Amino acid sequence: MRLRRVVPVALVALALAACDNPPPAGETGEQATGSSARSPVARVDPATLPVIDAELGVPPRAAPPTRRRAPAKVVVRLEVREVEQEIADGSRYMFWTFGGTVPGPMVRVRRGDFVELHLMNHPDNTMPHNIDLHAVTGPGGGATSSFTAPGHQTQFSFQALNAGVYVYHCATAPVGMHVGNGMYGLIVVEPDEGYPAVDREYYVMQGDFYTTGDYREPGLQPFDLERAIDEDPAYVLFNGRDGALVGDNALTARTGETVRLFFGNGGPNLTSSFHVIGEIFDRVFNEGGTTVVNDVQTTSIPAGGAAIVDFGVEVPGTYVLVDHALMRAFNKGAVGMLRVDGDEDRVVYTGQEVDEAYLGDYAPAALAARPNADGGAAGFAQGERTFIGTCAVSQCE
């Protein structure tokens, strides 16, 4: 079932001519999520607000919707951990992280909220760190207020003035190295009316990694600065590990459901051409902002940017998330999976209907003129090798 799109563009134009109210969220192409997205946010007195501890999302689980219609003081606690863990089977890397995961925890607040952010730098760490949240209006996005040595904690607060999906990252010099080691995550600022409801929400971020060894080379792999400067990653990954969303770790859904991906790109260098093989994004909150674009095949996510992609799933099977700059997908790790279970819909997609011999100019009449032809056997064999070589990797069906 496709996502609901009930208001034709022409009707919206008439409505706009009749009054100044923008159309409702997500109902037509190229529009905002609602009037609240652009109206000035109401200033608040933090002392009068209810205090809420943020419920963070641990990837690939998204943080839950706020389900609030009034501002609150939201307390967010992020702990920096420097952790050595696998970047691929048998390959290890010293990640610098928010919360021990790549990406760090997903923060979700509502526009107008007053956010009190605590940054703790674990005493076992070796480096100072800080945080720049792209949702912050203020110098450094908070970085200038949060430089934190190991064994220290800092605090600053901000009001979320703009709705959208925003990257946060460490901004301690050398910034590219801190980000390249995995120090990024998403903070979602819901518009006043929230986002349209869906059945499942997931949290995925792409990142490029620069190890001395090449892709899947075993052992502990140091960061390679020259490689990073050359923008020549050994890995391009979803959620910080080769295969993080593959096999038993695949995202899941059932036919008839709607799926939302909060998709961010930590970089530090590469722009993602984000695509889900076999699906069409019914609705994209373009660049993480409040403009909705419908019917998108591949959406461009810059380093330090994000988007929301929504789509309904109608046909069971495995859908492969990729950076459609495909060498990154099949040679550097930028592959994930969404496994959809449920009933077949043989009208939306029939599955294979015919598989039989095709002789082309090897048909008997033509073959008579080619006495040494093998009847197409060599061509069949080559075609089979090509199919297996392609689809065995992508697991296409």
* Binding stretches for Cu ion (CB under 5 A): 129, 170, 172, 178, 183
CB of 82 to Cu ion, least distance (A): 9
Query: Which residue minimizes CB distance to Cu ion?
Result: 170
- CA nearest 262: which of 61, 35, 55, 396? 61
- 219 to 28, 63, 100, 224: CA distances (angstroms): 51, 34, 20, 15
Please state, as a whole number, how many other Cβ atoms lie within 10 Å of the Cβ of residue 313: 24
Q: Are the C-beta atoms of residues 102 and 188 closer than 8 Å to each other? A: no
d(CA 99, CA 79): 5
> What order of strands is seen across the sheet that includes strand 184-190?
107-110, 184-190, 164-169, 132-133
C-alpha dihedral sign at 346, 350, 351, 353: positive
Question: Residue 78 or 237: which CB sits closer to Cu ion?
Answer: 78
d(CA 108, CA 324): 28
Q: How far apart, in Å, do the first and last CA atoms of the chain sit? A: 21
CB of 132 to Cu ion, least distance (A): 10
Question: Residue 129 or 332: which CB sits closer to Cu ion?
Answer: 129
Question: Residue 183 or 329: which CB sits closer to Cu ion?
Answer: 183
Q: Are the C-beta atoms of residues 156 and 173 closer than 8 Å to each other? A: no
Query: In the chain, how long is the greatest CA-to-CA distance?
Result: 92
User: 301: left (phi > 0), else alpha (psi -120 to 50), else beta?
Assistant: beta
CB of 198 to Cu ion, least distance (A): 33
Q: Are the C-beta atoms of residues 84 and 91 closer than 8 Å to each other? A: no
> In terms of C-beta density within 10 A (0-12 exposed, 13-18 middle, 19 or more buried), how is residue 200 classed?
middle
C-alpha dihedral sign at 293, 296, 302, 307: positive
CB of 96 to Cu ion, least distance (A): 5
CB of 155 to Cu ion, least distance (A): 17
Question: Residue 78 or 320: which CB sits closer to Cu ion?
Answer: 78
Question: Residue 156 or 311: which CB sits closer to Cu ion?
Answer: 156
d(CA 178, CA 185): 13
Question: Residue 146 or 157: which CB sits closer to Cu ion?
Answer: 146
CB of 119 to Cu ion, least distance (A): 10
CB of 339 to Cu ion, least distance (A): 35
Structure tokens at 4: 């609901």
Question: Residue 29 or 128: which CB sits closer to Cu ion?
Answer: 128
Question: Residue 172 or 211: which CB sits closer to Cu ion?
Answer: 172
CB of 121 to Cu ion, least distance (A): 9
Residue type, 131: I
- CA nearest 336: which of 267, 276, 253, 391? 276
> In terms of C-beta density within 10 A (0-12 exposed, 13-18 middle, 19 or more buried), how is residue 131 classed?
buried
Question: Residue 149 or 388: which CB sits closer to Cu ion?
Answer: 149
Question: Residue 42 or 173: which CB sits closer to Cu ion?
Answer: 173
CB of 84 to Cu ion, least distance (A): 16
Question: Residue 125 or 290: which CB sits closer to Cu ion?
Answer: 125
Contacting residues for 21 by C-beta, under 8 A, at least 6 apart: 15, 35
CB of 272 to Cu ion, least distance (A): 22
CB of 243 to Cu ion, least distance (A): 26
